[in-house]
Amino acid sequence: ARQVVSETHPEYLSSYDAVMNAHSFYFGNMLISRKETFDLYSKWLFDIMFKLEKRLDLNKKGNTYQSRVIGFISERLLQVWVNYNDLKVKEYPVFNTEDRRITFFEKNLNRAKKIKGLWKKNEN
Protein backbone atom coordinates (compact mmCIF):
# COMPACT_ATOMS: atom_id res chain seq x y z
CA ALA A 1 0.00 0.00 0.00
CA ARG A 2 2.82 2.37 0.84
CA GLN A 3 4.42 1.72 -2.54
CA VAL A 4 1.18 2.50 -4.38
CA VAL A 5 0.66 5.68 -2.35
CA SER A 6 4.24 6.74 -3.11
CA GLU A 7 3.65 6.21 -6.83
CA THR A 8 0.19 7.77 -7.10
CA HIS A 9 0.09 10.42 -4.34
CA PRO A 10 3.61 10.92 -2.94
CA GLU A 11 2.55 14.09 -1.13
CA TYR A 12 0.58 11.81 1.26
CA LEU A 13 3.60 9.73 2.35
CA SER A 14 4.35 11.59 5.58
CA SER A 15 0.68 11.31 6.62
CA TYR A 16 0.71 7.63 5.59
CA ASP A 17 3.77 6.92 7.71
CA ALA A 18 2.36 8.80 10.70
CA VAL A 19 -0.92 6.85 10.58
CA MET A 20 0.78 3.48 10.10
CA ASN A 21 3.05 4.15 13.10
CA ALA A 22 0.22 5.37 15.33
CA HIS A 23 -1.49 3.23 17.94
CA SER A 24 -5.06 4.16 16.98
CA PHE A 25 -7.15 4.91 13.93
CA TYR A 26 -10.76 5.32 12.86
CA PHE A 27 -12.18 1.95 11.88
CA GLY A 28 -15.23 0.98 9.89
CA ASN A 29 -14.76 3.15 6.79
CA MET A 30 -17.31 5.60 8.15
CA LEU A 31 -17.33 9.17 6.94
CA ILE A 32 -20.07 11.75 7.08
CA SER A 33 -19.24 14.75 4.96
CA ARG A 34 -20.39 17.05 2.21
CA LYS A 35 -20.75 15.40 -1.19
CA GLU A 36 -17.81 17.32 -2.61
CA THR A 37 -15.54 16.11 0.19
CA PHE A 38 -16.76 12.54 -0.16
CA ASP A 39 -16.22 12.62 -3.93
CA LEU A 40 -12.64 13.87 -3.51
CA TYR A 41 -11.94 11.19 -0.93
CA SER A 42 -13.49 8.44 -3.06
CA LYS A 43 -11.50 9.44 -6.13
CA TRP A 44 -8.27 9.42 -4.12
CA LEU A 45 -9.05 6.14 -2.34
CA PHE A 46 -10.18 4.15 -5.37
CA ASP A 47 -7.23 5.35 -7.40
CA ILE A 48 -5.02 3.69 -4.80
CA MET A 49 -7.18 0.64 -4.13
CA PHE A 50 -7.63 -0.40 -7.78
CA LYS A 51 -3.86 -0.27 -8.29
CA LEU A 52 -3.22 -2.13 -5.05
CA GLU A 53 -5.78 -4.82 -5.89
CA LYS A 54 -3.83 -5.69 -9.05
CA ARG A 55 -0.72 -6.36 -6.94
CA LEU A 56 -2.35 -8.61 -4.35
CA ASP A 57 -3.27 -12.26 -4.65
CA LEU A 58 -6.74 -12.23 -3.14
CA ASN A 59 -7.52 -15.79 -4.26
CA LYS A 60 -5.20 -17.56 -1.81
CA LYS A 61 -6.84 -20.49 -0.10
CA GLY A 62 -6.86 -20.58 3.65
CA ASN A 63 -7.76 -17.73 5.93
CA THR A 64 -10.80 -16.01 4.39
CA TYR A 65 -10.66 -13.31 7.05
CA GLN A 66 -7.36 -12.10 5.61
CA SER A 67 -8.93 -11.86 2.15
CA ARG A 68 -10.58 -8.70 3.52
CA VAL A 69 -7.20 -6.96 3.28
CA ILE A 70 -8.56 -4.29 0.90
CA GLY A 71 -11.10 -3.23 3.52
CA PHE A 72 -8.50 -3.22 6.29
CA ILE A 73 -6.13 -1.06 4.27
CA SER A 74 -8.89 1.32 3.20
CA GLU A 75 -9.79 1.88 6.88
CA ARG A 76 -6.29 3.13 7.52
CA LEU A 77 -6.21 5.15 4.33
CA LEU A 78 -9.27 7.08 5.50
CA GLN A 79 -7.20 8.32 8.43
CA VAL A 80 -4.32 9.18 6.07
CA TRP A 81 -6.64 11.27 3.91
CA VAL A 82 -8.27 13.00 6.87
CA ASN A 83 -4.88 13.82 8.41
CA TYR A 84 -3.32 15.06 5.19
CA ASN A 85 -6.30 17.28 4.38
CA ASP A 86 -6.40 18.58 7.96
CA LEU A 87 -10.13 17.91 8.27
CA LYS A 88 -12.07 18.83 11.38
CA VAL A 89 -13.28 15.58 12.95
CA LYS A 90 -16.25 15.00 15.23
CA GLU A 91 -16.26 11.62 16.92
CA TYR A 92 -19.43 9.74 17.86
CA PRO A 93 -19.79 6.44 19.69
CA VAL A 94 -20.48 3.42 17.53
CA PHE A 95 -22.20 0.22 18.57
CA ASN A 96 -23.20 -2.92 16.73
CA THR A 97 -26.98 -3.19 16.49
CA GLU A 98 -26.65 -6.84 15.48
CA ASP A 99 -24.82 -7.88 18.64
CA ARG A 100 -27.47 -9.72 20.66
CA ARG A 101 -25.20 -11.01 23.44
CA ILE A 102 -25.88 -7.95 25.57
CA THR A 103 -28.60 -5.33 25.23
CA PHE A 104 -27.97 -1.61 25.09
CA PHE A 105 -29.66 -1.26 28.50
CA GLU A 106 -27.52 -4.00 30.07
CA LYS A 107 -24.34 -2.50 28.67
CA ASN A 108 -25.10 0.91 30.13
CA LEU A 109 -26.25 -0.59 33.42
CA ASN A 110 -22.90 -2.35 33.70
CA ARG A 111 -21.12 0.94 32.95
CA ALA A 112 -23.13 2.66 35.70
CA LYS A 113 -22.18 -0.08 38.17
CA LYS A 114 -18.48 0.34 37.29
CA ILE A 115 -18.70 4.10 37.76
CA LYS A 116 -20.48 3.61 41.10
CA GLY A 117 -17.68 1.23 42.14
CA LEU A 118 -15.06 3.82 41.21
CA TRP A 119 -16.83 6.43 43.34
CA LYS A 120 -16.78 4.07 46.32
CA LYS A 121 -13.04 3.43 45.83
CA ASN A 122 -12.35 7.16 45.69
CA GLU A 123 -14.30 7.75 48.90
CA ASN A 124 -11.97 5.41 50.83
- 95-116: per-residue pLDDT in tens? 766 666 666 666 667 777 766 6
| Least reliable range by pLDDT among 11-15, 27-31, 120-124 | 120-124
For residue 116, the model assigns a pLDDT of 60
- Amino acid letter, residue 48: I
Give the predicted TM-score (pTM) of the model: 0.70
